[in-house]
Amino acid sequence: MLCISGGRIKNHRKACMDRKPLSTVNIALINLKRKPLRTGGLILLVSLFAFTLFGGTVLSKSLENGLSNLSKRMGADILAVPYGYEADVQSALLRGEPSTFYFEAAITEKIAGVEGVQNVSPQLYIATLNAGCCSYPIQLIGFEPETDFIIQPWMSNFLDHPLADGEIVIGNSLNAQVGQKLIFFNQTFLIVARLDKTGMGFDTSVFMNLSTAKQMARESERMKAHPVAENADLISSVMVEIKDGYDVKEVANAILQAYAGEGVHVVVAKNMISDISGSLRGLTTYIFTLAGVLWVLAVGVLIIVFAITLNGRKREFSIYRVLGAPRSKLAKLILCESSLISLFGTVGGIIAATLVVFPFSTYISSLLEYPYLQPSYGTLLAVAVVSSLVSFAVGPLASAYSAIKIGRCEIYTAMRENE
């Protein structure tokens, strides 16, 4: 009677009572345990590949999602900003970096008069010094609820009235609830709505109507001089939506030609998005190239390791044959060993990637400085399944040749070879 007892194959009735049966999986497990360093190294290699594939794909999908969300929700075709602050408005939009730049509010009406312009909405940016929730500055954005077509469509709850004085809307990453109160510059504000997750800088911003924003600027004057407190007719940017049938570039040029002298510069939203898209393509290519190289490396190393160890194990396989194991059992054993290595490596790699990519998503997005929005659970599950399958295929693929070779081997020749 053959069985596995104490990590060894035994042929004794007493030793075999209540012990593991001599199945292919159990023998494969013992064989793997017998060479812990080799097994550990191969598992590490597969897990490195699984980690890169799953983690990289989630990263790339999140960036893609962030970008598509940005282009869907941008709303404005053109952003008019003071000359020299084009980069600042992008960092405020993409990363929520507190920025303060201003020009005359009268420019809104002037831009509205340019041919091809359908809607205009002014915004006023104020950076806080100390917020009730924390002591890091955050971006406060004042907008005109009557003309706004950027902020209000993102609200997760329906607001039945235009944003009144003293009311604020918070970004999704601020840990406060609708109905709660927040204090900025010693003034209490009521949270009336919360934005959906955008993956952009708006997630960490606070929104209010223009008069509240101006009032806040006046309050902030106690701590630090503020241009808006001196001159209430200042705004930071004008969001422009163009009429159907007009070319964005032509309208942007028309605005620039007419008002560049007044310190107005324009940022075309499509250009901004295509710039980011270009950078993301580079990043995605890099991730998948790395994953491809690792896959080839993992398969290559496993092929070499199985081919080398096969030669050293010919005697062992001959003994299995003498004990009555058919050729197919040996092939199954090789495949089982490689599949177990793949399985452990895949599980380890996916778990490790999960522990890095999800808890540190905010940190990763802050390092990448691009819009970052995690895909839905369905997409994540699909990515996990595909990554697991591709990663799991490494072992069986790499050992297929060795399995076929051992299946064809003659007992006598194999035994003699090792003598």
Classify residue 393 as exposed, middle or buried by CB count within 10 Å of its CB (0-12, 13-18, 19+).
middle
User: H or E segment at 117?
Assistant: strand 117-127
Task: Give the CA angle between residues 368, 373, 374 to the nearest 5°.
Answer: 110
| Contacts with 238 (C-beta within 8 Å, 6 or more apart), sequence order | 79, 80, 107, 108, 111, 120, 121, 122, 123
Binding characters for other proteins, 247-276, by CB under 8 A (x = yes): ------------------------------
Does residue 83 sit in helix, strand or coil?
coil
What is the nearest approach in angstroms of other proteins to the Cβ of residue 355? 5
- Report which of 257, 192, 107 is spatially closest to residue 124, judged by C-alpha positions: 107
The interface with other proteins within residues 192-211 (CB under 8 A) comprises: 203-204
| Contacts with 132 (C-beta within 8 Å, 6 or more apart), sequence order | 182, 183, 184
CB of 182 or CB of 248, closer to other proteins: 182
CA atoms of 413 and 317, how far apart (whole Å): 12
Does position 190 bind other proteins by CB under 8 A? no
Does position 40 bind other proteins by CB under 8 A? no
Pick from 100, 118, 130, 309: which binds other proteins (CB under 8 A)? 130
- Give the range of 156-164, 227-235, 355-363, 378-386 binding other proteins by CB under 8 A: 355-363
Does position 355 bind other proteins by CB under 8 A? yes
CB of 129 or CB of 164, closer to other proteins: 129
Cβ atoms < 10 Å from Cβ of 73:
17
CA atoms of 174 and 162, how far apart (whole Å): 22
What is the nearest approach in angstroms of other proteins to the Cβ of residue 365? 9
16 is written with which tokens? 């075999």
Binding characters for other proteins, 84-123, by CB under 8 A (x = yes): ------------x---------------------------
Does position 133 bind other proteins by CB under 8 A? yes
Number of residues that bind other proteins (CB under 8 A): 19
Does position 7 bind other proteins by CB under 8 A? no
Does position 277 bind other proteins by CB under 8 A? no
201 is written with which tokens? 């800088």
Does position 187 bind other proteins by CB under 8 A? no
- Give the range of 20-28, 154-162, 207-215, 352-360 binding other proteins by CB under 8 A: 352-360
- Give the range of 83-91, 188-196, 271-279, 360-368 binding other proteins by CB under 8 A: 360-368
- Give the range of 51-59, 79-87, 149-157, 170-178 binding other proteins by CB under 8 A: 170-178
CB of 368 or CB of 400, closer to other proteins: 368
CA atoms of 43 and 49, how far apart (whole Å): 10
Cα(first)–Cα(last) distance of the chain, in Å?
Answer: 29
Pick from 15, 74, 155, 176: which binds other proteins (CB under 8 A)? 176
Pick from 113, 135, 225, 419: which binds other proteins (CB under 8 A)? 135
Pick from 188, 289, 362, 418: which binds other proteins (CB under 8 A)? 362
What is the nearest approach in angstroms of other proteins to the Cβ of residue 293? 28
Does position 144 bind other proteins by CB under 8 A? no
User: H or E segment at 40?
Assistant: helix 36-73
CA atoms of 287 and 59, how far apart (whole Å): 9
CB of 24 or CB of 90, closer to other proteins: 90
Does residue 291 sit in helix, strand or coil?
helix
- Give the range of 281-289, 295-303, 362-370, 409-417 binding other proteins by CB under 8 A: 362-370
Does position 366 bind other proteins by CB under 8 A? yes
Output the CA torsion sign for 150, 156, 158, 163: negative
66 is written with which tokens? 């962030």
What is the nearest approach in angstroms of other proteins to the Cβ of residue 204? 5
AA identity, residue 311:
N
Do 213 and 126 contact (CB within 8 A), yes or no?
A: yes
Pick from 136, 146, 222, 322: which binds other proteins (CB under 8 A)? 136
| Contacts with 300 (C-beta within 8 Å, 6 or more apart), sequence order | 398
Does position 177 bind other proteins by CB under 8 A? no
Classify residue 256 as exposed, middle or buried by CB count within 10 Å of its CB (0-12, 13-18, 19+).
middle
Pick from 29, 70, 117, 138: which binds other proteins (CB under 8 A)? 138
Q: Which residues bind other proteins (CB under 8 A)?
A: 96, 130, 133-136, 138, 173-176, 203-204, 355, 359-360, 362-363, 366
